Structure 1
């Protein structure tokens, strides 16, 4: 039970506040070796859209797996600040 709650909190923390904004579609637009915030947000929006058939925690896990598959292994704060 404790592990499940921690996993939910971790996934929620990763996805918290990730809004999609328009703009640069290139995930390769990087500054100092890491992708831009805009690129990260765009990938989040695409991953959410691709996994829209899932709900709840399963949806969150699928989105995180999608982001990791696209090379975004860190939380939002790493790319976009706090």
Structure 2
């Protein structure tokens, strides 16, 4: 149980670090903070998380990238509404 908790903690930390770093880097590089930055950062974060799981397949990596991009973009767009 402790080993599993530690692994999940590392995955969440990786996700937070990758996403935050990418959104900041893209904002600085592009000079804009928009849904495109969120989509790219979410997709790459999804890929990073997929690659940390056991028995990763190509389909899982693509699925996680699409899911990460969709959730991140939706969160960015909805934060401007509410």
TM class by smaller structure: 0.3 to 0.5
> Which structure features the higher share of strand residues?
1
> Which structure features the higher share of helix residues?
2
When the two structures are superposed, what TM-score results if normalisation uses the length of structure 2?
Answer: 0.37
More RCO (CA 8 Å, sep 6+): 1
When the two structures are superposed, what TM-score results if normalisation uses the length of structure 1?
Answer: 0.37
Greater C-alpha Rg: 2
